Chain A
Amino acid sequence: MRRVVVMDLSRHNVLVVGDRRWFVLETAGRAELVLDSCPHRGGPLSLARLTPDGRRLACPWHGTRVGTAAVRRTALPMVRTGDEAVVVLPGVGPEVPVTARRRRVLANLPPMDPLCDKENGLTGPVNGNLTDTTAGTR
């Protein structure tokens, strides 16, 4: 079972599917719709900041550093044409509510200033693989 939804990326950057949420992560000029959930305790990665090396997101809840490559592996199939994104939702039936929203996304801001790292308490565990987190959705 698959469901296809269309998002206007000029207006929305978050897709809520049932009780799960995906946000638009922009990496290397590409917009990807990734799971907004830290593999540690489910914190909102959309509110994470990039680490100074630009390779990981530091979760705002416990400072868990999640590799962006691992985050990108959670991306939903998406075809972007201009501002239009056609998103394929595997395993989502017509009864599941789907909503597109606009939210503040910090994960797309430039990497943090290293001097701020300690002040933000970003010393938590590193998780580089989220595949298992999303295995049930595919």
Chain B
Amino acid sequence: MDALAGDPLFAGGPGVLHDENPYRRALLPDVAAEVDFSRPLTAGTLDGPAALTAHRALGTLYEAEHVLLPEAGLAGLRGDFDHFYGTALRRLREASISDLEDFAFAFLDDAVTITGNCTVEDLDAYFQHAVDEAERGDAPALLAIEAASDPAVAADTYLVQLALDGLTEASAMSRNLGGAYGPEQSALFKIFIDEFGYGVFEAKHTTIFAKMISSRAMRTHVHAYWNFYLPGPLATNNLYYYLSRDHSKFFRYAGAVTYAEAVFAPAFVKMIRTYRNIFGDDVDLHYCEEHAHIDQHHGRITREQVLLALAERHGDGVVPELMRGIAEARLVGAWFEEDTAAQIRWADRPAAYRERGEQTAGGEVLRHVELAPGHPFGTRNHAEDVVLVVARGEAELVTTPTGTPDRLRRGDAVHVPAGRVYGVRATTGECAYRVHRAATEQ
């Protein structure tokens, strides 16, 4: 991690958004240095800097196994391309990716167990239960958007989490298209070609996703909003890479992708309702409408022709793995939702958290941060509640991809709950701030 996060390609830049360069993304070596990578993530540490750092790094390693080229052409970025895909980083990737996967996903072994004598019929009963539950249940992130004082900014925060997958959609799926595994392979391929617009770029899902965020005046290049991805959404995206990179996990992947395809359609119906209420016709929701429709088919195809077909063909021995994949996708998907909802609720109420910061600022100083002009901008979180106190100069607290940053002056304090992701940008030439452990409120 020291070598990876310390690589110049991952040093980040002064801008809040990343430039149109898919090879550069901030991995924050100083935050990575705080993480003890000998102690894998647990269910209790998922929202802290360890999860954020690990999943940023893991996502970077996974994407280095796929082709990323800038839409504007490679002209000035050839050096970065050569370095991103070059021997040094490839060797580093090959040497570290399995350990990093263990660190990031070993918690699933404890979090999910499948027991009992499970048959194909049990698998289908469990699957239908999980899908019915998702259809009937609330969508925490959408509820947070609807309750926000600035629902447009909150809605953009949600779009950014979707962009993580939306702009590179089905890349993980592509890893399970090769080989020879019968009719189930062809069924998965049918879904894949839908995702890729049947070879028509204008119909490719990544293209219509870009149109959706463009209609919100947001940047459409891959990872423009890297700094605003949350641990839950990063982990959700990485889960499918994790399960598809190693084909010993193929049946888990099949369970996970079947669950995902089945719950997408109703989820996008809910999203359309929320976004129309906020933006009326001023947002292009073709991407959501496409998924609300086509994922009904994908849900049916994956259930009948992938999930149950694999179980029928390969016997009850693979059923626990298929069920595990469903349970893992459900668990990590809930993390996506809860994490995004918590970020929206916090970022929507800066005045309240300033007021709270005044009450909780008396705790031990954990870090002193100096921001010089041109200092790379990065976002991070903490495993515990902290308070940021500006010691010198002025700064902006950045908590949303499209909202107005909160201006902080010397002496100002802001309470940051555990897990919430923020960045601080100096607005004067120099700025310093302290990170305090949050004290008990008075």
Q: Are A81 and B121 in contact (CB under 8 A)?
A: no
CA distance A76 to B118 in the complex (A): 8
Residues of A within 8 A of B324 (CB): 79
Instruction: Choose, from A27-35, A56-64, A99-107, the stretch at the interface.
Output: A27-35
Does A88 interact with chain B (Cβ within 8 Å)?
yes
Let me know if B111 and A32 touch, CB within 8 A. Answer: no
Interface bits B88-124 vs A (CB < 8 Å: 1, else 0): 0000000000000000000000011111111101100
A79 with B126: in contact, given A33-B116, A138-B117 (CB under 8 Å)?
Answer: yes
Bound: A82/B330 CA distance, A: 12
Contact with A along B112-147 (1 / 0, CB 8 A): 111111110110011011100000000000000000
Docked-complex contact A81 and B112, CB < 8 angstroms: yes
For residue B327, CB closer than 8 A to chain A, the reply is yes
Contact residue among A2, A4, A76, A82 (Cβ-Cβ distance under 8 Å from B116): A76
Contact assessment for B126 and A77 in the assembled complex, using a CB-CB cutoff below 8 Å: yes
Per a CB cutoff under 8 Å, which of A2, A30, A77, A79 touches B117?
A77
If A75-B117, A82-B43 touch, whether A2 touches B125 (CB-CB below 8 Å) is yes
Chain B residues, CB < 8 A from A72: 115
For the complex, give the distance between the alpha carbons of A79 and B111 in Å: 10
B111 A31 Cβ-Cβ under 8 A: no
- A122 within 8 Å of B (CB atoms): no
Bound state CA distance, A78 and B122, in angstroms? 9
Max count, chain B CB within 10 A of own CB: residue among A2, A3, A76, A82: A2
| Nearest Cβ on chain A to B133's Cβ, whole angstroms | 9
Q: Is the CB of B125 within 8 A of A81?
A: no
CA distance A31 to B110 in the complex (A): 11
Say whether A98 faces chain B, with CB atoms less than 8 Å apart. Answer: no
Bound together, the chains give a CA A88 to CA B130 distance in angstroms of 12
Tell me whether B125 and A79 are in contact (CB under 8 A): no
Residues of A within 8 A of B331 (CB): 81-82
B116 close to A75 (CB less than 8 A): yes
Whether a CB of chain B sits under 8 angstroms from the CB of A12 is no
Q: A72-99, CB under 8 A of B: which get 1 and which 0?
A: 1101111111100010101000000000
| Chain A residue with the shortest CB-CB distance to B328 | A81
Q: Kindly state whether residue B323 has any CB partner on chain A within 8 Å.
A: yes
B interface bracket (residues with beta carbon within 8 Å of A) = 20 to 34
Q: B126, A88: Cβ atoms under 8 Å?
A: yes
Which residue in chain A gives the minimum CB-CB distance to B331? A81
- A4 and B115 contact, CB distance less than 8 A: no
Select A30's contact among B111, B115, B122, beta carbons within 8 Å.
B115
Do residues B129 and A4 form an inter-chain contact, with CB atoms below 8 A? yes
Is A88 within 8 A of B113, CB to CB? no
Nearest Cβ on chain B to A135's Cβ, whole angstroms: 11
From A2, A78, A81, A138, contact of B115 by CB (8 A): A78
Distance between Cα atoms of A3 and B118 in the complex (Å) = 14
Instruction: Given A31-B113, A33-B115, verify A4-B125 contact (CB < 8 Å).
Output: yes
In contact, B112 and A80 (Cβ under 8 angstroms): yes
Q: Is B121 in contact with A2, judged by CB distance below 8 angstroms?
A: yes
Expressed in whole angstroms, the Cα–Cα distance for A88 and B331 within the complex equals 18
In the bound complex, residues from chain A placing their C-beta under 8 Å from that of B130 are: 86
B residues near A (Cβ < 8 Å) are: 43, 111-119, 121-122, 125-126, 128-130, 323-324, 326-327, 330-331
Contacts A31-B113, A78-B114, A78-B115 supplied; 6 other A-B pairs, CB < 8 Å: A2-B121, A33-B115, A77-B118, A79-B126, A80-B112, A86-B130
Closest A-B pairs by Cβ, 9 of them: A75-B116, A77-B116, A77-B122, A2-B125, A4-B129, A32-B115, A77-B118, A88-B122, A80-B113
